[in-house]
Amino acid sequence: MPKVVFFLIAAGFVILGSWLLAGIPGHFSASIGSYSIDTSAPIAIVMSIVLVAAILIVLRVAGSIAAIPRSGAAWRRRSRRAAGETAITRVLVALAAGEQGPAWKEARRARLLLGDSPQTLLLVAEAARLAGREDEAGEAFQVLAKHPGARFLGLRGLLRQAVDRRDWPGALIVAREAEAAHPGTAWLRQQRADLAIQTGNWADAVEFIGPDARRLTYCVAAADAEPDPGRSIGFAKQAWKQDPTFPPAVIAYASRLRARGHERRAQACIAAAWKRAPHPDLAVFALAPQTTPLARHQAGKRLAGINPSHPESRILMARVSLDAGFTGEARHQIEIAEAEGVKQQRRLCLLLAEIEEHDRGDTEAGRIAQRDALRRAASADPDPHWQCTNCRIDHALWLPKCETCGEVGTIQWQTGARTPGLAIIAA
């Protein structure tokens, strides 16, 4: 029904227009050369309209014919793009499935169809890496790094390749370029921290690392590696504040205080740590300034008095008493330690053997007592020691990085049995 109404209205307008056109008075006459036209005004108007319409149609047809090459090129571009997008989809599926051959083949096809767009370059690089074609992946990452908007993607790929090759100097250069291209990236900060560790640049590791359980290790290592005394004590103080009971951190800070002439503050740090967690390394540092056995005995007595019931205090008193010639006191401290439930450790047995040698000398009874102590030492529990929790290798001294497995922050103070094998003697 609406169509009928529309048709009737349109027909009415046509009839009305025709009637009005037919009512226009006038006469039209034109001549061109030997040709002449002589007609009424309405007919002339209709002829003009038809002529204009014919000219427009001819122009439209001519334009369509002229646009055929461009239309063909556009059609070919659309076809290549569609085929390229299909290839990209196949690459993504192959990468997800871990199919090396199809991923690499489709990635190359996508690059051929779509050119060096950031998307195709990234897919080509990843597919080449999956197929073990690192040179081809590197070339794609290099080209990708030249794209202003995708430079960081290319640099990240090049950085990953440098790390895989263990090319630390090259990785550092690429990491700095990546930082300039996209500052403040959390992943990149962690990567730069790892590179700093690999190159032994502990100060940079402290700067780049965020909240991390290994930060304490980095600070101690940075303090030992830093040539500038001001920065060195700053790193040491950070470590000491983070854990004032960790012996390497305490000694790192106290040693720098001592170097600056602040012996009382250094000894106060050692005393505070001994009160909470006595450790043999703390005693070695505290007694280092004393040059005579008697002075060492007095210093050891003061330190042990801070935490007198701890086994390390008992062992310290036994050691300094024996060195000062007070064998009775040394024997007494060992007996108390054993009575208080301290496990029989090798160092206790060896101390007892020294006491027997000092007390009884080269006598039959002395030799028997020494042999008994040494026999007990052979089967006694091992002494507490530094050990890597990753590879279980023993170390004579604490190190920030295990020299065997290369892990950072894994060397811990252990009181259990030693791992059979060669211990690392740190210089």
Q: What is the DSSP string of 221-290?
A: HHHHH--SHHHHHHHHHHHHHH-TT-HHHHHHHHHHHHHTT-HHHHHHHHHHHHHHS--HHHHHHHHTT-
Task: Say what the pLDDT of residue 279 is.
Answer: 94
pLDDT in tens, the chain (427 residues): 677 677 667 666 656 665 565 566 666 566 666 666 766 666 666 666 777 777 777 777 776 677 666 655 666 677 777 877 887 788 788 878 888 888 888 878 877 877 778 888 888 888 888 888 888 888 988 888 888 888 888 888 888 888 888 888 888 888 888 888 888 788 888 788 788 878 778 888 787 876 777 888 889 988 998 889 999 999 999 999 999 999 999 999 999 999 999 999 999 999 999 999 999 999 999 999 999 999 999 999 999 999 998 989 999 999 999 889 898 898 888 888 888 767 677 888 788 878 877 777 677 766 776 777 777 777 777 788 899 999 999 988 999 888 888 888 899 998 765 555 444 444 3
Reading phi first (left if > 0) and then psi (alpha if -120 to 50, else beta), residue 214 is in alpha
Q: Tell me, what's the pLDDT at 110?
A: 79
pLDDT value, residue 250: 95
Q: State both tokens at 278.
A: 């006595």
Whether this model's pTM surpasses 0.85: no
Domain boundaries, the chain: 290-381, 385-427
The rounded distance, in Å, linking the Cα atoms of 170 and 162 is: 6
Q: What is the DSSP letter of 415?
A: -
Packing angle, helices 68-97 and 41-66, rounded to 10:
40
User: Are residues 262 and 246 in contact, defined by beta-carbon separation less than 8 angstroms?
Assistant: no
The per-residue pLDDT for 422 is 44
pLDDT attached to residue 421 = 45
| pLDDT at res. 418 | 54
Predicted confidence at residue 101, as pLDDT, reads 81
Task: Identify the pLDDT of residue 40.
Answer: 67
